[in-house]
Amino acid sequence: MANVRVAGTGLTPFGNSPERTGRDLFAEASIEAFEDSDVPRDDVEGVLYGNFMGEIAEHQGHQGPLMAEAAGVQAPATRFESACASSGAAVREAVKRIRTGENDVLLVGGAERMTNLGTAGATEALAIAADDLWEVRAGTTFPGAYALMAQAYFDAFGGDREDLAHIAVKNHANALDNEKAQYQRAIEVDDVLEAPPVSEPLGLYDACPISDGASALVLTSEDYAAEHDLEAPVAITGTGQGGDRMALHDREHLARSPAAREAAGEAYVDADIDAGDVDVAEVHDCFTIAEVLALEALDLEPIGEGISAARDGRTTADGELPVNLSGGLKAKGHPVGATGASQIAEITMLLAGTHPNSDHVADATTGITHNAGGTVASAMVHVLEVVA
């Protein structure tokens, strides 16, 4: 099956920009992606845009056409919503459209404006990605939900808060040289352990921040890339999607992510690789425990052993399999609608040698992204490879 080339990537800095609108953010990311790609806007046949809380944060629905206009594109546009996996879903749809020959050039990405809501408002807005009837009305927020998952993991497989702290320390270290990251500062294990508790066993440094930001990708067919002599050596060669029950109490096991496992299995088969071929990964670490669950669901770590991967150095920048060299959601930031496409941009730059952390993966040819919605009731996984 034909590969889909990543012709251009664009990212705004992730961070605290309450005065900026979603359309302003997406316009900036799109400008960067078009400049990176050398693809003219007139060649774009569609815009696929991820956004989760636009109606709440900006009183704005029907954002697809709005964002196409902001990007300077006149083409059919669609908004995708799958909670924090919204732009991951947009990327998956774009891959399928290009593969079937429906389109040759698509602008794909996402944005979220969150900090203008304040901490309480953003927490309430994010909570609607959980089951309103059985979780939200009972007062459950995502820190609480992931705390339940963390405790379930500890009970089933062992581990403790210090193991999780090493994940936070690793991802902050990875973000130091990433100019697009929200937190470009180092932390120590003691900083994590001594931080205020959020929901036991998770503390302040176990959680990703509330963020504003946007991401954009110019994706093309191989034929278009060849015909226009594009410098696009990285392709999306595999895509997968998985799902799970929405509410935690309906799940068989709180310390597993079957949606991510299903998505990864599909993506590996699609790309004709297995987990052992992966050289670098960007996974959805909205909380430190989420990185552990992702590593195990993607078969990058055996079940019950992902908890020690950062502490033992297996997933650090110079480890066997570097994970979240961007800083991850934990330190780079998590403007939820932008995250999935942002992960694709980060892996593309890492494999192409244009990322500030590319030196750590100089020989890498295969990367993977894992983008999750809610408590991983939805998951998108993509495989990227150097193909030329």
For tokens 């552990």, what's the residue? 292
For tokens 């939900």, what's the residue? 145
Residues in CB range of 125: below 8 A, 6 or more apart: 53, 56, 57, 114, 117
DSSP-derived secondary structure for 7-21: EEEEEPPPB--TTS-
- Residues counted in the chain: 388
Cα–Cα distance for residue pair 369/155, rounded to 1 Å: 28
Residue 228 bears catalytic tag: no
Cα–Cα distance for residue pair 146/151, rounded to 1 Å: 9
Q: Where are the beta strands (DSSP E) in 119-228?
A: 197-199, 202-203, 213-221
For tokens 């960067």, what's the residue? 32
Q: Which of 166, 172, 284, 334 is catalytic?
A: 334
Cα–Cα distance for residue pair 81/104, rounded to 1 Å: 23
Residue 334 bears catalytic tag: yes
Q: Is 245 exposed, middle or buried (CB count within 10 Å of its CB: 0-12, 13-18, 19+)?
A: middle
How far are the Cα atoms of 41, 75, 300, 302, 342 from residue 79, in angstroms, in the given order? 19, 13, 32, 36, 16
Active site residues: 84, 334
